[in-house]
Amino acid sequence: MRLSGSDASVDDVKFANGSNIAVTRTDASTITISTSGLHAVAISGSYNDLTNTPSLFSGDYNDLANKPTLFSGDYNDLVNEPQLFSGSYTDLTNKPTFATVATSGSYNDLTNKPTIPSAVSQLTNDSGYLTAIPDETLATKTGATGTVAHDCTTDKIFVHSSVAANFTVNLTNLNLASNKATVITLLINQSSTAYMPTGLQIGGSTVTINWQGSSSAPAGNVNKKDIVAFSIFNVGGTYTVLGQLVSFG
């Protein structure tokens, strides 16, 4: 459709029909334009109204052509696999060489074994050792009364006869080191009047006797053989003495 002039009226309209558009003047004020010759897409603008459209990819991997062959995930489908270790010791290379004793566990398979002495005479220092348990020596005391010295240099057993009165035992040369213990034994041959050691000194210093079952010295036994034992403990420089009486005969 063409309009001529700036103030063209409908009378001035000139029509140009195309092959796909028909223009008809119905009257002085009406124009009819027919688009029946146009394709539907000209009006809708929709891709779906097109003909001869290309085939688009669905987006599904399975619809692809010339797809690559993917790895199955199976180790056996690999190529150029490494040679894996069998796990057997015999298949190792550069194995260490073990000594026979490593598998036998026998002392006899050791090399450079020490020489073990079979006799005391083979020892480097073959003197001063004990060949038997020695007997303990004892000292005898007669007529004890007052304070009686008991020399512990060589003896820790003392035999008393003819005791004249209760007496105090003074242990000289005890030399008991800290955190050590020892036992002093007295054999008292009692007569018709029994007497007891009622006090104890160590190097002239009085030490309390803790008597078994009593706070004071027990009575001796007439015409019996009384054994009085003093268990002495040096605990950090402090003496603890336990006294015990046992009667025989």
- Distance between CA 179 and CA 66 in Å, rounded? 96
- 53-99 tens-digit pLDDT: 888 888 888 888 888 888 888 988 888 888 888 889 888 888 888 89
Other beta carbons within 10 Å of 150? 23
14 by DSSP, 3-state: which? strand
- Distance between CA 226 and CA 101 in Å, rounded? 64
155 by DSSP, 3-state: which? coil
- Residue-by-residue DSSP string for 92-115: -SS-----THHHH--GGG-SSPPP
Q: Residues 6 or more apart from 227 whose CB is under 8 A from it?
A: 185, 186, 187, 188, 245, 246, 247, 248
- The reply to whether the predicted model has a pTM over 0.75 is no
- 170-227 tens-digit pLDDT: 999 999 999 999 999 999 999 999 999 999 999 999 999 999 998 899 999 999 999 9
Task: Show me where the domains of the chain are located.
Answer: 1-47, 139-248
Task: Please give the C-alpha separations between residue 218 and each of 70, 194, 213, 226, in angstroms, as whole numbers.
Answer: 106, 11, 9, 11
Confidence grade of residue 21 (pLDDT, cut at 50, 70, 90): low
